[in-house]
Chain A
Amino acid sequence: MANTIEGATGTWEYVIGLEVHAQIISNSKLFSGASTEFGSEPNTQVSPVDAGMPGMLPVINMTCIEQAVKTGLAIEGTINRYSVFDRKNYFYPDLPQGYQISQFKQPIVSEGRLVIEMEDGSEKVIGIERLHVEQDAGKSLHDQDPGHSYVDLNRSGVGLMEIVSKPDLRSPEEAAAYVRKLRSILRYVETCDGNMQDGSMRVDANVSMRRPGEEYGTRCEIKNLNSVRFMSRALEYEALRQVDILEAGGKVAQETRLFDVGRGETRSMRSKEEAHDYRYFPDPDLLPLRLEQELINGIAASMPELPDAKRHRFMADFGLSPYDASVLVAEKENADFYEAVAEGRDKKLAANWLISELFGLLNKAGKGIEDSPVSAPALGELLDLISDDTISGRTAKEIFAEMFETGKAAGVIVEEKGLKQVTDTGAIEAVIDEVMARETQKVEEYRSGKDKLFGFFVGQVMKASGGKANPKMVNEVLKTKLDG
Protein backbone atom coordinates (compact mmCIF):
# COMPACT_ATOMS: atom_id res chain seq x y z
CA MET A 1 0.00 0.00 0.00
CA ALA A 2 1.36 3.38 -1.01
CA ASN A 3 1.85 5.36 2.18
CA THR A 4 4.55 7.37 0.50
CA ILE A 5 5.34 9.00 -2.80
CA GLU A 6 8.74 8.65 -4.41
CA GLY A 7 9.64 12.06 -5.77
CA ALA A 8 12.69 13.01 -7.81
CA THR A 9 14.53 14.05 -4.64
CA GLY A 10 13.39 11.32 -2.27
CA THR A 11 10.44 9.99 -0.32
CA TRP A 12 7.40 11.99 0.76
CA GLU A 13 4.81 10.98 3.31
CA TYR A 14 1.12 11.89 3.43
CA VAL A 15 -0.33 13.71 6.43
CA ILE A 16 -4.12 13.71 6.23
CA GLY A 17 -6.82 14.93 8.59
CA LEU A 18 -10.52 14.69 7.78
CA GLU A 19 -13.54 16.79 8.69
CA VAL A 20 -16.71 14.79 8.21
CA HIS A 21 -20.08 16.56 8.15
CA ALA A 22 -22.78 14.10 9.12
CA GLN A 23 -26.45 15.07 8.96
CA ILE A 24 -28.20 14.19 12.21
CA ILE A 25 -31.18 11.87 11.96
CA SER A 26 -34.09 13.81 13.48
CA ASN A 27 -37.64 14.72 12.49
CA SER A 28 -37.21 18.46 12.72
CA LYS A 29 -34.31 20.87 12.33
CA LEU A 30 -31.67 21.81 14.90
CA PHE A 31 -33.26 25.14 15.85
CA SER A 32 -36.68 25.13 14.19
CA GLY A 33 -39.79 22.99 13.77
CA ALA A 34 -39.42 22.49 10.00
CA SER A 35 -39.06 18.95 8.64
CA THR A 36 -35.68 17.48 7.69
CA GLU A 37 -37.04 15.12 5.05
CA PHE A 38 -34.89 14.80 1.95
CA GLY A 39 -36.12 15.42 -1.58
CA SER A 40 -39.24 17.54 -1.00
CA GLU A 41 -40.40 20.44 -3.19
CA PRO A 42 -38.11 23.49 -2.83
CA ASN A 43 -38.60 25.75 0.17
CA THR A 44 -41.51 23.74 1.56
CA GLN A 45 -39.56 22.79 4.70
CA VAL A 46 -38.46 26.20 5.80
CA SER A 47 -39.47 28.03 8.96
CA PRO A 48 -38.85 31.77 9.32
CA VAL A 49 -35.88 30.81 11.55
CA ASP A 50 -34.26 28.83 8.71
CA ALA A 51 -34.91 31.68 6.29
CA GLY A 52 -33.08 34.11 8.56
CA MET A 53 -36.12 36.37 9.03
CA PRO A 54 -35.43 39.25 11.42
CA GLY A 55 -36.50 38.69 15.01
CA MET A 56 -36.71 34.92 14.82
CA LEU A 57 -35.11 33.04 17.70
CA PRO A 58 -33.50 29.60 17.54
CA VAL A 59 -34.75 26.96 20.02
CA ILE A 60 -32.63 23.85 20.37
CA ASN A 61 -33.96 20.42 19.41
CA MET A 62 -32.82 18.17 22.28
CA THR A 63 -33.04 15.03 20.11
CA CYS A 64 -30.25 16.42 17.92
CA ILE A 65 -28.13 16.93 21.04
CA GLU A 66 -28.84 13.41 22.27
CA GLN A 67 -27.84 12.09 18.85
CA ALA A 68 -24.54 13.99 19.11
CA VAL A 69 -23.92 12.57 22.59
CA LYS A 70 -24.66 9.06 21.32
CA THR A 71 -22.22 9.54 18.46
CA GLY A 72 -19.63 10.97 20.85
CA LEU A 73 -19.90 7.88 23.04
CA ALA A 74 -19.61 5.63 19.97
CA ILE A 75 -16.29 7.25 19.03
CA GLU A 76 -15.13 6.97 22.67
CA GLY A 77 -15.06 10.73 23.08
CA THR A 78 -15.32 12.88 26.19
CA ILE A 79 -18.83 14.32 26.47
CA ASN A 80 -18.56 17.91 27.64
CA ARG A 81 -21.37 18.73 30.03
CA TYR A 82 -20.92 22.39 29.19
CA SER A 83 -20.69 23.54 25.59
CA VAL A 84 -21.34 26.79 23.77
CA PHE A 85 -22.91 27.77 20.44
CA ASP A 86 -21.05 30.38 18.42
CA ARG A 87 -21.81 32.34 15.29
CA LYS A 88 -19.54 31.70 12.33
CA ASN A 89 -19.98 34.74 10.12
CA TYR A 90 -19.82 34.66 6.33
CA PHE A 91 -21.98 35.61 3.39
CA TYR A 92 -23.30 33.15 0.86
CA PRO A 93 -26.71 32.97 -0.85
CA ASP A 94 -27.52 29.61 0.75
CA LEU A 95 -26.88 31.01 4.25
CA PRO A 96 -29.76 33.43 4.86
CA GLN A 97 -28.79 34.33 8.45
CA GLY A 98 -25.39 35.59 7.33
CA TYR A 99 -23.87 33.30 9.94
CA GLN A 100 -23.91 29.63 10.77
CA ILE A 101 -24.66 28.60 14.34
CA SER A 102 -21.80 26.26 15.22
CA GLN A 103 -19.57 25.41 18.16
CA PHE A 104 -16.07 26.80 18.17
CA LYS A 105 -14.11 26.93 21.43
CA GLN A 106 -16.28 24.61 23.49
CA PRO A 107 -17.63 21.68 21.45
CA ILE A 108 -19.99 19.09 22.85
CA VAL A 109 -17.50 16.22 22.36
CA SER A 110 -13.71 16.21 22.49
CA GLU A 111 -10.91 13.65 22.25
CA GLY A 112 -12.34 10.50 20.72
CA ARG A 113 -10.81 7.68 18.75
CA LEU A 114 -11.64 5.21 16.06
CA VAL A 115 -9.93 1.98 14.97
CA ILE A 116 -9.44 1.39 11.26
CA GLU A 117 -8.68 -2.00 9.73
CA MET A 118 -6.51 -2.23 6.66
CA GLU A 119 -6.85 -4.90 3.98
CA ASP A 120 -3.82 -6.79 5.29
CA GLY A 121 -5.66 -7.24 8.59
CA SER A 122 -3.61 -4.66 10.53
CA GLU A 123 -5.35 -2.13 12.77
CA LYS A 124 -4.57 1.50 13.52
CA VAL A 125 -6.04 3.90 16.05
CA ILE A 126 -7.00 7.30 14.60
CA GLY A 127 -7.48 10.17 17.03
CA ILE A 128 -10.58 12.34 16.84
CA GLU A 129 -10.05 15.93 17.87
CA ARG A 130 -13.68 16.91 18.41
CA LEU A 131 -17.29 16.56 17.42
CA HIS A 132 -19.45 19.66 17.37
CA VAL A 133 -23.02 20.42 16.41
CA GLU A 134 -23.92 23.03 13.79
CA GLN A 135 -26.51 24.06 11.22
CA ASP A 136 -26.43 22.90 7.63
CA ALA A 137 -26.74 25.49 4.86
CA GLY A 138 -29.26 25.58 2.01
CA LYS A 139 -28.58 24.26 -1.44
CA SER A 140 -27.75 26.21 -4.61
CA LEU A 141 -28.50 24.95 -8.10
CA HIS A 142 -26.39 26.46 -10.84
CA ASP A 143 -27.58 24.74 -13.99
CA GLN A 144 -31.18 25.97 -14.19
CA ASP A 145 -30.48 29.39 -15.66
CA PRO A 146 -27.40 30.75 -17.44
CA GLY A 147 -27.21 33.97 -15.46
CA HIS A 148 -28.63 32.99 -12.07
CA SER A 149 -28.39 30.46 -9.26
CA TYR A 150 -31.47 28.91 -7.67
CA VAL A 151 -31.56 28.54 -3.89
CA ASP A 152 -33.56 25.96 -1.94
CA LEU A 153 -33.53 26.38 1.85
CA ASN A 154 -35.02 22.99 2.75
CA ARG A 155 -31.63 21.87 4.05
CA SER A 156 -30.98 25.18 5.82
CA GLY A 157 -30.88 24.58 9.57
CA VAL A 158 -30.78 20.78 9.50
CA GLY A 159 -28.57 19.56 12.35
CA LEU A 160 -25.04 18.50 11.44
CA MET A 161 -22.28 16.85 13.41
CA GLU A 162 -18.84 17.94 12.31
CA ILE A 163 -16.37 15.23 13.28
CA VAL A 164 -12.73 16.31 13.04
CA SER A 165 -9.95 13.74 13.01
CA LYS A 166 -6.39 14.37 14.12
CA PRO A 167 -3.81 14.44 11.32
CA ASP A 168 -3.14 10.75 11.94
CA LEU A 169 -3.96 9.35 8.51
CA ARG A 170 -0.97 8.45 6.34
CA SER A 171 -2.44 7.38 3.01
CA PRO A 172 -5.56 7.72 0.86
CA GLU A 173 -6.30 4.08 1.78
CA GLU A 174 -6.26 4.92 5.49
CA ALA A 175 -8.46 7.95 4.83
CA ALA A 176 -10.92 5.72 2.94
CA ALA A 177 -10.90 3.14 5.74
CA TYR A 178 -11.57 5.93 8.26
CA VAL A 179 -14.56 7.29 6.36
CA ARG A 180 -16.01 3.81 5.87
CA LYS A 181 -15.56 2.98 9.55
CA LEU A 182 -17.07 6.25 10.72
CA ARG A 183 -20.00 5.74 8.36
CA SER A 184 -20.49 2.23 9.70
CA ILE A 185 -20.51 3.50 13.32
CA LEU A 186 -22.95 6.33 12.50
CA ARG A 187 -25.31 3.82 10.89
CA TYR A 188 -25.03 1.43 13.83
CA VAL A 189 -26.02 4.09 16.33
CA GLU A 190 -28.58 5.50 13.88
CA THR A 191 -27.49 9.10 14.22
CA CYS A 192 -26.75 9.64 10.49
CA ASP A 193 -27.85 7.58 7.49
CA GLY A 194 -24.36 7.91 5.97
CA ASN A 195 -25.77 8.44 2.51
CA MET A 196 -22.96 10.22 0.69
CA GLN A 197 -24.84 10.37 -2.61
CA ASP A 198 -27.60 12.51 -1.16
CA GLY A 199 -25.05 14.60 0.73
CA SER A 200 -26.05 13.53 4.22
CA MET A 201 -22.37 12.76 4.79
CA ARG A 202 -19.68 14.98 3.26
CA VAL A 203 -15.95 15.12 3.73
CA ASP A 204 -13.40 17.95 3.74
CA ALA A 205 -9.83 16.64 3.56
CA ASN A 206 -6.76 18.44 4.88
CA VAL A 207 -3.58 17.16 3.29
CA SER A 208 0.10 18.07 3.40
CA MET A 209 3.27 16.23 2.44
CA ARG A 210 6.47 15.86 4.46
CA ARG A 211 9.69 13.89 4.60
CA PRO A 212 9.01 10.87 6.83
CA GLY A 213 9.47 11.77 10.48
CA GLU A 214 9.87 15.51 9.89
CA GLU A 215 7.57 18.36 10.93
CA TYR A 216 4.18 18.83 9.24
CA GLY A 217 4.23 20.84 6.02
CA THR A 218 1.71 23.47 4.89
CA ARG A 219 -1.67 21.92 4.23
CA CYS A 220 -4.46 22.48 1.75
CA GLU A 221 -8.10 21.79 2.41
CA ILE A 222 -10.13 20.02 -0.27
CA LYS A 223 -13.82 20.80 0.22
CA ASN A 224 -17.02 18.85 -0.20
CA LEU A 225 -15.94 15.39 -1.26
CA ASN A 226 -19.07 13.31 -1.60
CA SER A 227 -17.74 9.83 -2.21
CA VAL A 228 -14.89 7.73 -0.82
CA ARG A 229 -13.61 7.10 -4.33
CA PHE A 230 -13.46 10.82 -5.20
CA MET A 231 -11.75 11.55 -1.90
CA SER A 232 -9.00 9.02 -2.65
CA ARG A 233 -8.51 10.41 -6.13
CA ALA A 234 -8.46 14.01 -4.87
CA LEU A 235 -5.86 13.11 -2.21
CA GLU A 236 -3.64 11.34 -4.73
CA TYR A 237 -3.81 14.26 -7.15
CA GLU A 238 -3.20 16.84 -4.43
CA ALA A 239 -0.20 14.92 -3.06
CA LEU A 240 1.51 14.88 -6.46
CA ARG A 241 0.75 18.57 -6.96
CA GLN A 242 2.29 19.47 -3.61
CA VAL A 243 5.34 17.23 -4.14
CA ASP A 244 5.96 18.92 -7.52
CA ILE A 245 5.88 22.34 -5.86
CA LEU A 246 8.09 21.27 -2.93
CA GLU A 247 10.65 19.53 -5.12
CA ALA A 248 10.93 22.57 -7.38
CA GLY A 249 11.91 24.51 -4.24
CA GLY A 250 8.53 26.26 -3.98
CA LYS A 251 6.14 26.71 -1.08
CA VAL A 252 2.64 25.25 -0.85
CA ALA A 253 0.12 28.03 -0.26
CA GLN A 254 -2.35 27.26 2.54
CA GLU A 255 -5.70 27.45 0.77
CA THR A 256 -9.08 25.87 0.16
CA ARG A 257 -9.35 23.78 -2.96
CA LEU A 258 -12.13 22.14 -4.89
CA PHE A 259 -11.98 18.71 -6.53
CA ASP A 260 -13.12 18.84 -10.14
CA VAL A 261 -14.50 15.35 -10.69
CA GLY A 262 -14.61 15.67 -14.48
CA ARG A 263 -10.97 16.69 -14.78
CA GLY A 264 -9.72 14.64 -11.85
CA GLU A 265 -7.82 17.60 -10.41
CA THR A 266 -8.05 20.05 -7.53
CA ARG A 267 -8.13 23.80 -8.01
CA SER A 268 -8.07 26.85 -5.79
CA MET A 269 -11.37 28.28 -4.51
CA ARG A 270 -10.29 31.90 -4.49
CA SER A 271 -13.54 33.25 -3.10
CA LYS A 272 -13.10 31.23 0.09
CA GLU A 273 -9.83 32.91 0.97
CA GLU A 274 -10.91 36.25 2.31
CA ALA A 275 -14.03 34.71 3.83
CA HIS A 276 -11.74 32.71 6.13
CA ASP A 277 -12.04 35.43 8.76
CA TYR A 278 -15.20 34.06 10.37
CA ARG A 279 -15.25 36.39 13.38
CA TYR A 280 -16.65 33.74 15.73
CA PHE A 281 -18.44 34.91 18.84
CA PRO A 282 -20.88 33.24 21.28
CA ASP A 283 -24.42 33.37 19.86
CA PRO A 284 -26.31 35.83 22.08
CA ASP A 285 -29.60 34.08 21.17
CA LEU A 286 -28.54 30.85 22.86
CA LEU A 287 -27.49 30.08 26.39
CA PRO A 288 -24.69 27.58 26.96
CA LEU A 289 -25.74 23.95 26.65
CA ARG A 290 -25.60 22.10 29.97
CA LEU A 291 -26.05 18.34 30.06
CA GLU A 292 -27.07 16.34 33.11
CA GLN A 293 -24.86 13.33 33.82
CA GLU A 294 -28.02 11.18 34.06
CA LEU A 295 -28.87 12.03 30.46
CA ILE A 296 -25.43 10.93 29.32
CA ASN A 297 -25.60 7.77 31.44
CA GLY A 298 -29.02 6.93 30.01
CA ILE A 299 -27.73 7.24 26.45
CA ALA A 300 -24.63 5.20 27.31
CA ALA A 301 -26.87 2.43 28.69
CA SER A 302 -28.90 2.33 25.47
CA MET A 303 -25.94 1.97 23.10
CA PRO A 304 -26.16 -0.94 20.65
CA GLU A 305 -23.24 -3.30 20.09
CA LEU A 306 -20.78 -1.40 17.88
CA PRO A 307 -18.97 -2.77 14.81
CA ASP A 308 -15.64 -3.32 16.64
CA ALA A 309 -17.25 -5.27 19.47
CA LYS A 310 -19.32 -7.29 17.04
CA ARG A 311 -16.27 -8.02 14.92
CA HIS A 312 -14.30 -9.26 17.89
CA ARG A 313 -17.22 -11.39 19.03
CA PHE A 314 -17.55 -12.97 15.58
CA MET A 315 -13.83 -13.78 15.65
CA ALA A 316 -13.66 -15.03 19.22
CA ASP A 317 -16.98 -16.88 19.54
CA PHE A 318 -17.58 -17.99 15.95
CA GLY A 319 -13.96 -18.53 14.85
CA LEU A 320 -14.32 -16.25 11.83
CA SER A 321 -11.24 -14.78 10.12
CA PRO A 322 -10.58 -11.05 10.67
CA TYR A 323 -11.44 -10.41 7.03
CA ASP A 324 -14.74 -12.30 7.08
CA ALA A 325 -15.71 -10.66 10.37
CA SER A 326 -14.95 -7.17 8.97
CA VAL A 327 -17.02 -7.80 5.86
CA LEU A 328 -19.97 -9.06 7.86
CA VAL A 329 -20.07 -6.27 10.46
CA ALA A 330 -19.56 -3.29 8.11
CA GLU A 331 -23.32 -2.93 7.66
CA LYS A 332 -25.52 -3.68 10.65
CA GLU A 333 -28.20 -5.22 8.40
CA ASN A 334 -25.66 -7.72 7.02
CA ALA A 335 -24.48 -8.62 10.51
CA ASP A 336 -28.07 -9.16 11.70
CA PHE A 337 -28.83 -11.32 8.66
CA TYR A 338 -25.67 -13.34 9.29
CA GLU A 339 -26.53 -13.95 12.93
CA ALA A 340 -30.01 -15.10 11.97
CA VAL A 341 -28.55 -17.61 9.48
CA ALA A 342 -25.71 -18.74 11.76
CA GLU A 343 -27.90 -19.31 14.82
CA GLY A 344 -27.66 -23.02 15.67
CA ARG A 345 -25.62 -23.76 12.53
CA ASP A 346 -22.01 -24.00 11.40
CA LYS A 347 -20.76 -20.40 11.80
CA LYS A 348 -18.04 -20.57 9.16
CA LEU A 349 -20.30 -22.28 6.65
CA ALA A 350 -22.87 -19.53 7.16
CA ALA A 351 -20.20 -16.81 6.78
CA ASN A 352 -18.90 -18.36 3.56
CA TRP A 353 -22.35 -18.60 2.08
CA LEU A 354 -23.15 -14.99 2.86
CA ILE A 355 -19.87 -13.55 1.65
CA SER A 356 -19.19 -15.61 -1.44
CA GLU A 357 -22.68 -16.50 -2.60
CA LEU A 358 -25.36 -14.16 -1.30
CA PHE A 359 -23.34 -10.90 -1.44
CA GLY A 360 -22.13 -11.86 -4.91
CA LEU A 361 -25.63 -12.32 -6.29
CA LEU A 362 -26.95 -9.24 -4.47
CA ASN A 363 -24.15 -7.13 -5.93
CA LYS A 364 -24.83 -8.43 -9.40
CA ALA A 365 -28.52 -7.67 -9.02
CA GLY A 366 -27.73 -4.22 -7.53
CA LYS A 367 -29.74 -5.06 -4.42
CA GLY A 368 -29.16 -4.48 -0.72
CA ILE A 369 -29.64 -7.19 1.86
CA GLU A 370 -33.04 -5.78 2.84
CA ASP A 371 -34.26 -6.64 -0.70
CA SER A 372 -32.71 -10.09 -0.75
CA PRO A 373 -35.02 -12.60 -2.48
CA VAL A 374 -33.58 -15.26 -0.15
CA SER A 375 -34.46 -14.63 3.49
CA ALA A 376 -32.26 -15.64 6.43
CA PRO A 377 -34.47 -18.64 7.37
CA ALA A 378 -34.54 -19.76 3.72
CA LEU A 379 -30.75 -19.69 3.49
CA GLY A 380 -30.63 -21.48 6.84
CA GLU A 381 -32.79 -24.29 5.44
CA LEU A 382 -30.38 -24.69 2.52
CA LEU A 383 -27.42 -24.93 4.90
CA ASP A 384 -29.27 -27.58 6.91
CA LEU A 385 -29.68 -29.65 3.74
CA ILE A 386 -25.91 -29.46 3.20
CA SER A 387 -25.11 -30.33 6.80
CA ASP A 388 -27.33 -33.42 6.89
CA ASP A 389 -25.93 -34.63 3.56
CA THR A 390 -29.22 -34.29 1.70
CA ILE A 391 -27.39 -32.31 -0.97
CA SER A 392 -23.75 -31.71 -1.88
CA GLY A 393 -22.12 -28.32 -1.68
CA ARG A 394 -22.00 -28.06 -5.43
CA THR A 395 -25.68 -28.88 -5.88
CA ALA A 396 -26.42 -26.37 -3.14
CA LYS A 397 -24.94 -23.58 -5.26
CA GLU A 398 -27.24 -24.45 -8.13
CA ILE A 399 -30.21 -24.61 -5.80
CA PHE A 400 -29.22 -21.28 -4.27
CA ALA A 401 -29.08 -19.60 -7.68
CA GLU A 402 -32.60 -20.83 -8.32
CA MET A 403 -33.81 -19.73 -4.89
CA PHE A 404 -32.43 -16.27 -5.64
CA GLU A 405 -34.15 -16.29 -9.02
CA THR A 406 -37.56 -17.68 -8.06
CA GLY A 407 -37.83 -17.19 -4.32
CA LYS A 408 -38.67 -20.89 -3.90
CA ALA A 409 -37.60 -22.78 -0.77
CA ALA A 410 -34.56 -25.06 -0.99
CA GLY A 411 -36.50 -28.19 -0.01
CA VAL A 412 -39.06 -27.56 -2.77
CA ILE A 413 -36.36 -27.24 -5.43
CA VAL A 414 -34.65 -30.42 -4.23
CA GLU A 415 -37.95 -32.31 -4.49
CA GLU A 416 -38.93 -30.85 -7.85
CA LYS A 417 -35.62 -31.54 -9.51
CA GLY A 418 -34.79 -34.77 -7.71
CA LEU A 419 -31.51 -33.32 -6.49
CA LYS A 420 -31.36 -35.36 -3.34
CA GLN A 421 -27.87 -36.63 -2.83
CA VAL A 422 -27.22 -40.36 -3.14
CA THR A 423 -25.79 -41.60 0.14
CA ASP A 424 -26.74 -45.22 -0.33
CA THR A 425 -23.47 -47.20 -0.46
CA GLY A 426 -24.98 -49.84 -2.72
CA ALA A 427 -26.08 -47.27 -5.29
CA ILE A 428 -22.70 -45.57 -5.24
CA GLU A 429 -20.90 -48.88 -5.59
CA ALA A 430 -23.04 -49.74 -8.60
CA VAL A 431 -22.06 -46.51 -10.35
CA ILE A 432 -18.39 -47.04 -9.52
CA ASP A 433 -18.50 -50.59 -10.84
CA GLU A 434 -20.06 -49.35 -14.03
CA VAL A 435 -17.36 -46.70 -14.53
CA MET A 436 -14.54 -49.15 -13.71
CA ALA A 437 -15.92 -51.71 -16.15
CA ARG A 438 -15.97 -49.06 -18.88
CA GLU A 439 -12.52 -47.68 -18.17
CA THR A 440 -10.46 -50.88 -17.84
CA GLN A 441 -7.43 -49.28 -19.51
CA LYS A 442 -7.37 -46.41 -17.00
CA VAL A 443 -7.89 -48.77 -14.08
CA GLU A 444 -4.78 -50.66 -15.11
CA GLU A 445 -2.79 -47.49 -15.49
CA TYR A 446 -3.90 -46.39 -12.05
CA ARG A 447 -2.98 -49.68 -10.47
CA SER A 448 0.45 -49.55 -12.07
CA GLY A 449 1.17 -46.29 -10.26
CA LYS A 450 -0.57 -43.40 -12.05
CA ASP A 451 -2.16 -42.01 -8.85
CA LYS A 452 -3.19 -38.82 -10.57
CA LEU A 453 -5.95 -40.69 -12.35
CA PHE A 454 -7.92 -40.81 -9.10
CA GLY A 455 -9.41 -37.39 -9.84
CA PHE A 456 -10.47 -38.62 -13.26
CA PHE A 457 -12.43 -41.48 -11.68
CA VAL A 458 -14.11 -39.19 -9.16
CA GLY A 459 -15.17 -36.94 -12.03
CA GLN A 460 -16.54 -39.85 -14.06
CA VAL A 461 -18.48 -41.26 -11.11
CA MET A 462 -19.98 -37.88 -10.24
CA LYS A 463 -20.95 -37.37 -13.85
CA ALA A 464 -22.49 -40.83 -14.10
CA SER A 465 -24.51 -40.13 -10.94
CA GLY A 466 -25.78 -36.85 -12.36
CA GLY A 467 -23.81 -34.97 -9.72
CA LYS A 468 -25.94 -36.42 -6.97
CA ALA A 469 -23.53 -38.89 -5.39
CA ASN A 470 -22.11 -37.79 -2.06
CA PRO A 471 -18.52 -36.78 -2.98
CA LYS A 472 -17.06 -37.91 0.32
CA MET A 473 -18.54 -41.39 -0.02
CA VAL A 474 -17.50 -41.59 -3.67
CA ASN A 475 -13.93 -40.86 -2.59
CA GLU A 476 -13.94 -43.53 0.07
CA VAL A 477 -15.59 -46.31 -1.91
CA LEU A 478 -13.58 -45.53 -5.02
CA LYS A 479 -10.32 -45.75 -3.11
CA THR A 480 -11.19 -49.15 -1.68
CA LYS A 481 -12.28 -50.52 -5.02
CA LEU A 482 -9.37 -49.17 -7.04
CA ASP A 483 -6.75 -50.20 -4.51
CA GLY A 484 -8.38 -53.60 -3.96
Chain B
Amino acid sequence: MSFDKTTIARISRLARIATTEAEQERLAGELGGILAWVEQLDEVDVEGVAPMTSVVEMNLKAREDVVSDGANAEGILKNAPRSAHGFFVVPKVVE
Protein backbone atom coordinates (compact mmCIF):
# COMPACT_ATOMS: atom_id res chain seq x y z
CA MET B 1 0.00 0.00 0.00
CA SER B 2 1.16 3.50 -0.76
CA PHE B 3 0.05 6.89 0.46
CA ASP B 4 -1.07 9.86 -1.56
CA LYS B 5 -0.82 13.41 -0.32
CA THR B 6 -4.56 13.65 0.44
CA THR B 7 -4.34 10.72 2.84
CA ILE B 8 -1.33 12.26 4.57
CA ALA B 9 -3.18 15.57 4.89
CA ARG B 10 -6.14 13.76 6.39
CA ILE B 11 -4.04 11.77 8.85
CA SER B 12 -2.17 14.85 9.99
CA ARG B 13 -5.45 16.71 10.49
CA LEU B 14 -6.84 13.81 12.57
CA ALA B 15 -3.63 13.76 14.62
CA ARG B 16 -3.61 17.56 14.96
CA ILE B 17 -0.08 17.73 13.56
CA ALA B 18 0.38 20.54 11.06
CA THR B 19 2.22 19.54 7.88
CA THR B 20 3.26 21.66 4.89
CA GLU B 21 2.70 20.41 1.34
CA ALA B 22 6.40 19.68 0.99
CA GLU B 23 6.36 17.65 4.20
CA GLN B 24 3.31 15.75 3.04
CA GLU B 25 5.16 14.77 -0.12
CA ARG B 26 8.11 13.48 1.91
CA LEU B 27 5.90 11.76 4.53
CA ALA B 28 3.90 9.97 1.84
CA GLY B 29 7.10 8.30 0.74
CA GLU B 30 8.39 7.55 4.24
CA LEU B 31 5.12 6.19 5.63
CA GLY B 32 4.58 4.19 2.45
CA GLY B 33 8.01 2.62 2.99
CA ILE B 34 7.27 1.76 6.61
CA LEU B 35 3.96 0.21 5.69
CA ALA B 36 5.49 -1.83 2.90
CA TRP B 37 8.06 -3.15 5.36
CA VAL B 38 5.36 -4.16 7.87
CA GLU B 39 3.28 -5.69 5.10
CA GLN B 40 5.93 -8.36 4.66
CA LEU B 41 4.19 -10.01 7.63
CA ASP B 42 1.31 -10.78 5.30
CA GLU B 43 3.49 -13.51 3.83
CA VAL B 44 3.22 -15.49 7.07
CA ASP B 45 0.30 -17.91 7.21
CA VAL B 46 -1.52 -17.16 10.49
CA GLU B 47 -4.65 -19.16 9.73
CA GLY B 48 -6.12 -20.35 13.05
CA VAL B 49 -3.54 -18.53 15.21
CA ALA B 50 -5.06 -16.31 17.93
CA PRO B 51 -3.68 -12.77 18.12
CA MET B 52 -0.92 -12.45 20.70
CA THR B 53 -1.92 -9.96 23.37
CA SER B 54 1.00 -10.34 25.73
CA VAL B 55 4.52 -11.68 25.54
CA VAL B 56 4.08 -13.36 28.91
CA GLU B 57 0.91 -15.32 29.56
CA MET B 58 -0.72 -13.25 32.29
CA ASN B 59 -4.03 -11.79 33.32
CA LEU B 60 -5.17 -8.19 33.40
CA LYS B 61 -4.09 -6.60 36.68
CA ALA B 62 -7.05 -5.36 38.70
CA ARG B 63 -7.57 -2.79 41.43
CA GLU B 64 -9.83 -2.62 44.48
CA ASP B 65 -12.67 -0.10 44.37
CA VAL B 66 -11.14 2.33 46.86
CA VAL B 67 -10.38 6.04 46.58
CA SER B 68 -6.60 6.38 46.71
CA ASP B 69 -5.89 9.41 44.53
CA GLY B 70 -7.09 12.94 43.76
CA ALA B 71 -7.50 15.96 46.07
CA ASN B 72 -4.64 17.68 44.27
CA ALA B 73 -6.23 20.26 41.97
CA GLU B 74 -3.17 22.49 42.22
CA GLY B 75 -0.85 19.73 41.04
CA ILE B 76 -3.20 18.67 38.25
CA LEU B 77 -3.41 22.25 36.96
CA LYS B 78 0.32 22.91 37.28
CA ASN B 79 1.16 22.23 33.62
CA ALA B 80 -1.91 24.01 32.27
CA PRO B 81 -1.00 27.01 30.07
CA ARG B 82 -3.96 28.75 31.61
CA SER B 83 -6.24 28.06 34.56
CA ALA B 84 -8.75 29.94 36.71
CA HIS B 85 -10.88 29.15 39.77
CA GLY B 86 -9.65 25.55 39.72
CA PHE B 87 -10.56 24.98 36.04
CA PHE B 88 -8.41 24.46 32.96
CA VAL B 89 -9.06 27.43 30.65
CA VAL B 90 -9.04 26.65 26.92
CA PRO B 91 -10.10 28.49 23.76
CA LYS B 92 -13.87 28.55 23.39
CA VAL B 93 -15.21 25.22 22.16
CA VAL B 94 -18.95 25.20 21.85
CA GLU B 95 -21.38 23.99 19.20
Contacts and interface: CB of A to CB of B under 8 A. Distances in A.
Interface residues of B, number: 36
B14 A279 contact: yes
A368 interface: no
B89 A150 contact: yes
Contacts, number: 136
A288 B88 contact: no
Contacts of B72: 44, 46
Given A59-B62, A60-B61, A33 B92 contact: no
A142 to B, nearest CB: 4
B90 A33 contact: no
Contacts of A146: 92
Interface string A60-80: 111111000000000000000
B73 A142 contact: no
A328 interface: no
Contacts of A49: 69
Contact of B89 (A60, A148, A290): A148
Nearest to B63: A59
B81 to A, nearest CB: 11
A47 B70 contact: yes
A145 B67 contact: no
A33 B85 contact: no
B63 A287 contact: no
B76 A153 contact: yes
Contacts of A277: 14
A43 B53 contact: no
A302 interface: no
A142 B92 contact: yes
Contacts of A274: 13-14
Contact of B65 (A28, A48, A258, A271): A28
Interface size class of A (residues with CB under 8 A): 35 or more
B54 A43 contact: no
B88 A59 contact: no
Interface in B1-50: 13-14, 16
A159 B44 CA distance: 39
Interface in B54-95: 54, 58-73, 76-77, 82, 84-95
Interface in A91-147: 91-93, 140-142, 144-147
Interface stretch (A34-42, A340-348, A375-383): A34-42
B73 A41 contact: yes
Contacts of B71: 44-45
A339 interface: no
Nearest to A44: B73
Interface string A432-443: 000000000000
Contact of A60 (B14, B63, B91, B95): B63
B49 to A, nearest CB: 16
A47 B73 CA distance: 9
Given A33-B63, A41-B73, A43-B76, A150 B58 contact: no
B89 A287 contact: no
A51 B68 contact: no
Given A92-B93, A282-B53, A59 B86 contact: no
Contacts of B60: 60, 286-290
Given A42-B86, A64-B65, A153-B88, 20 more contacts: A28-B63, A32-B69, A33-B66, A34-B67, A42-B85, A43-B86, A43-B88, A45-B71, A46-B72, A46-B76, A51-B76, A65-B62, A144-B87, A147-B92, A148-B90, A151-B90, A279-B14, A286-B60, A287-B53, A290-B60
Interface of A: 26-28, 32-35, 41-49, 51, 59-65, 89, 91-93, 140-142, 144-153, 258, 269, 271, 274, 277, 279, 282, 286-290
20 contacts: A28-B63, A32-B69, A33-B63, A33-B69, A42-B86, A43-B88, A59-B62, A61-B63, A62-B64, A140-B90, A140-B94, A144-B87, A147-B91, A148-B91, A149-B91, A150-B87, A151-B88, A152-B87, A153-B88, A287-B61
